[in-house]
A and B are shown apart, each in its own frame.
Chain A
Amino acid sequence: MTFQELAQRAEKKKPGRVDIIGQADATIVQGWETRGWEIVRHGEEPLRAIRAMESALPDGCGRLCWLQGFEIAGYSKVLWIGCTPSVRYDHVADAMRAVQTMIRALNSFGEAEPRVALLSCVEAISPGVPSTIWQAVLGHMGTRGQFGKAKVDGPLAFDLAVSPRAAEDKKFQSVISAQADLIVPPDLNTFLSLTDALHLTGAHAAAGVVVGGPCPILLSPPCSEDHAELSLVAASLLV
């Protein structure tokens, strides 16, 4: 899936109504309920905005997931990177729900059976690296089909998630075949550093959207117009 294909898909749909807001408080929830907001575009520092919006959501609404997609030279499709800032992934039930939310988003983007890589620094399950433990559990659930139509594997090192050459060199086999559509870093720090590094060091086309709430949220992108437009395309598909 490329951004161009995403845009073509979005064109076929009725465009979502975009409301621009600047405050992360209860007015968001009221807006969703009373004014039928379809897509919200938000203008605050992303992390604080997500926290504030979550606290304004009614109980049982779940947690918000932040997805950033990148079109990178040398990679054949959009690589989505996902994070649920307020969830501790070592609570397996929460981690599972977070990954399910991300998979549902990718399904709406048109990816019928997304390949999902749970990222750590090694592919071996290592008690000394706690992220490999919950990732192994989720990876195992993936092999049992507990994520529905999605291929989920973890723990995986970054190169084994996206580089067929690295997988071949290391003689590593995985259901995602080093062609991930979605990668889930093990924590918020890693998510932010990875996405910042990709934003800052390359001319990658990128989109960013927050899912898991009553409607998709575009967070004011810290970079290009291009990013804003592609984020809107992605959000439209989620409506």
Chain B
Amino acid sequence: MLTTARMVMERARELAKMHVPVVAVAGAEDDDVLLAVANAQKAGMVQAHLVGGAAKIEKLLGELSLSASDFRITDAADAKSAIEKAVELCSRGECSVLMKGKVPTPDLMKAVLAPDAGLRIGKVLSHCAVLELPGYPKLLSFTDGGVLATPDFEQKICIVENAVRVSRLIGVDQPKVALLGVLDEADPDFPSTVEAAAVARACVERGIARFVEGPMTLRTALTKSARPSAVAGEPDILVSHAIEEINITVKALNLFRGTTFMGVITGAKVPLSLVSRSDPPENKMASLALAAVMAGEAK
């Protein structure tokens, strides 16, 4: 079981010894992105395929004392074209990881979701933020803070399923899932608690995971509960009611607690490494490592 970001990066290196995943970087003309992907390549985790304005990319590589000859580069006139070419590299099977560079996230998502792009595999796409929280003994996934704004009942089940798959790929055989709510019990006065209870039950009945409980507050999820619970105190996955809850909580933890953050979008043919522009290079590299592990383990 991988319990730290460092272990995820080591695992990515191990897997790359057998088969190096090639990463298509959509919009590579950004120094932070280039630094992250170059470090990951130097560490032997991935091979980078940079897509974007070739002249700008080569200039930036030079400024970072990196050699353009170490990278595959595909020229693209603008962000739209960079996205199209990077997505095509993945759908053709030339690349097994997609990384967001300096392109707008909604445009990238639109391209990945397009029916004729060849990246849909009939699943709902969702974002999984895997955090190494100081003081917590294992990696903790927060989902979905990036893709589905107001997921319905079935979509929530898919979000759980996607996160469970990510957990299993990092070695957690029986991930424990908490559906977050404002109370620890279903109360009709608070409709989100009722839905959380129903989603938790459906997930167990459909065999998505053995330990899925909810609703529970984040406080209950992260502290030992007085009630008998297989999840409280030791969850692997926290699932929110709506996108803002996880997005805001994760950003607060990143900014104020210095967590290491790995962000991936899962549910497509290839994992998509997605972090914010303001994330430090180490988070970008860790996210890439997680996506590489997912691609490697899925082989």
Contact = CB atoms under 8 A, between A and B. Distances in A.
Nearest to B215: A189
B241 A159 contact: no
Interface stretch (A22-30, A36-44, A124-132): A124-132
A54 B66 CA distance: 63
Nearest to B219: A196
B217 A192 contact: yes
A165 B278 contact: yes
B226 interface: no
Given A189-B182, A193-B218, A194-B249, A170 B277 contact: yes
Contacts of A149: none
B208 interface: no
A121 B277 contact: no
Contacts of B223: 200
B271 interface: no
Interface string A188-203: 1110111011111110
Nearest to A167: B278
Given A51-B189, A192-B182, A163 B278 contact: yes
A176 to B, nearest CB: 16
Contacts of A74: 255-256
Given A165-B278, A193-B218, A159 B255 contact: yes
Nearest to B146: A121
Contact of B217 (A119, A196, A198): A196
B240 interface: yes
Most buried by A among B133, B244, B276, B278: B244
A218 interface: no
B181 interface: yes
Interface in A188-239: 188-190, 192-194, 196-202, 204, 222
A199 B181 CA distance: 17
A187 B191 CA distance: 13
Contacts of B149: 121, 126, 128-130
Contacts of B256: 72-75, 198, 202, 204
A21 interface: no
A47 interface: yes
Contacts of A119: 244, 248
Interface in B228-248: 240-248
B172 interface: no
A200 B218 contact: yes
Given A158-B252, A190-B248, A202 B257 contact: yes
A187 B244 contact: yes
Given A51-B189, A200-B222, A185 B248 contact: yes
Contacts of B257: 201-202
Contacts of B135: 201
Interface of A: 47-48, 51, 72-75, 119-121, 126, 128-131, 157-159, 162-163, 165-166, 169-170, 185-190, 192-194, 196-202, 204, 222
25 contacts: A47-B183, A48-B183, A72-B256, A130-B150, A157-B247, A158-B251, A162-B255, A165-B278, A166-B278, A169-B277, A170-B277, A185-B244, A187-B242, A187-B245, A189-B192, A192-B182, A192-B219, A193-B240, A193-B248, A194-B245, A194-B248, A199-B219, A202-B256, A204-B256, A222-B219
Given A73-B256, A192-B182, 14 more contacts: A120-B244, A121-B243, A128-B149, A166-B255, A169-B277, A186-B244, A189-B180, A189-B240, A190-B248, A190-B249, A192-B217, A192-B219, A193-B218, A194-B249
